[in-house]
Amino acid sequence: MPILTLFWVADRWLTDDGYVGWERNTVRNSVHRWDKSRRWEGERRPKFAVFGSSTSVDWLDLRKPYLANLLGVRRGDILDAHMNGCHQGCTWAEIRRMRQRQALKRCYLRGKNQCDPPQEKRFETVFFGTNLFQLCENTHSKRSLQHTMLTPTADIPALMGMYLEAEEPLLHIGRFWGMKLSGAYADTIALRDYWGRKTIGKGPRGREHLWYRRARPKKEKSVLSCEYTPESIAFKRRLTAGLLDDLHALSDRVYLMLLPERSLGLDDPEHKRRWAAHLALHRTLAAEREWVTLVDLVTDGVHAHGHFRDDIHLNAKGMKRQRALFERRLAELGIEPKKGAKKK
């Protein structure tokens, strides 16, 4: 016990009680954005939500009234539930956390019959955007960190079962439990940078903590994509199906948005095959769920090199074209852009 206590104290000290690390605090801040009592109770709670990563919301620019004007609602009626770098596993865990918090709010804020199941959905409409590259596992350690921080304890067995679908299940399982046990292990890069600044300080020309790293030669980087074989997408496919099912408990309608990438413009058979498989998969997932509507922003979508600022994020010109296509798709679904929506 004394040895374990010593390790626990050292771990908490090294991580400043779990606050060291940009990725860790991104998760914490994103949860804080929606996990407020007033957002879960009363008539003025947001009725619309946007889930996914930065690619889901950058072009919608929720800081401005663009989407609110399209839907004919106030800006405050739209909840920004995205998280930077949040792939399907992160979104699944976030939705599970949201459902948990909704149940707790009912139990402690409603008075008598407080723990009865909710009589109405949390949202009227949810938008979830996904990219092709996200269907491969992308086994960055921050994925495991997001799962560790967001997944409710009661849902850990379900997550372990999904990990078994991965190409390297033991890697996911080992990282998850290692991060549960040690905050220092959870984000070693951030920890090194943090203590490098505190002990070594700034390098030449103000480049903080970068000068003591070993220089790495630059390599040519191929366009970000996913091989899209049955084995490579099995894990994310199951997560996608799971999060769409869970969203049904929160919302009457889910719009599944397929988002473009720079690889969409590549004129070769392999990438065309990948995009065809991507479209077919999500059409199937939507067809199997009556509450899910596919919004295809890939067909006739943004694809030119000059429409992107990197492999996945649009520049201003690309965003303009993306919005025009989005409005056409909504019109095809019977949602005509509204005018004069209030901005608050």
Give the sheet arrangement for strand 251-258, strand by strand: 78-80, 48-51, 123-130, 251-258, 292-296
Alpha-carbon gap, residue 302 to 258, rounded angstroms = 12
SS3 for 110? coil
Neighbour-count burial of 259, counting CB atoms closer than 10 A to its CB (0-12 exposed, 13-18 middle, 19+ buried): buried
Is the four-CA dihedral 147, 149, 150, 156 of positive or negative sign? positive
Q: What is the set of domains in the chain, with CATH numbers?
A: 2-198+223-332 (3.40.50.1110)
pTM above 0.95, yes or no: no
Say if residue 341's pLDDT is above 70: no
pLDDT of residue 220: 46
Alpha-carbon gap, residue 59 to 173, rounded angstroms = 35
pLDDT of residue 17: 77
Buried/exposed 56-74: b ≥16 CB within 10 Å, e otherwise: bbbbbebeebbbbbbbebb
- Residue 295: count of CB within 10 angstroms of its CB: 21
Rounded to 5 degrees, what are φ and ψ at 287?
Answer: -65, -30
Over the stretch 173-184, which tens digit does the pLDDT of each residue have?
999 999 999 888
Over the stretch 148-204, which tens digit does the pLDDT of each residue have?
999 999 999 999 999 999 999 999 999 999 999 988 888 887 777 777 777 776 544
Say if residue 228's pLDDT is above 70: yes
Helix then strand then coil, in percent of the chain rounded to 5, is 55, 10, 40
Say if residue 254's pLDDT is above 80: yes
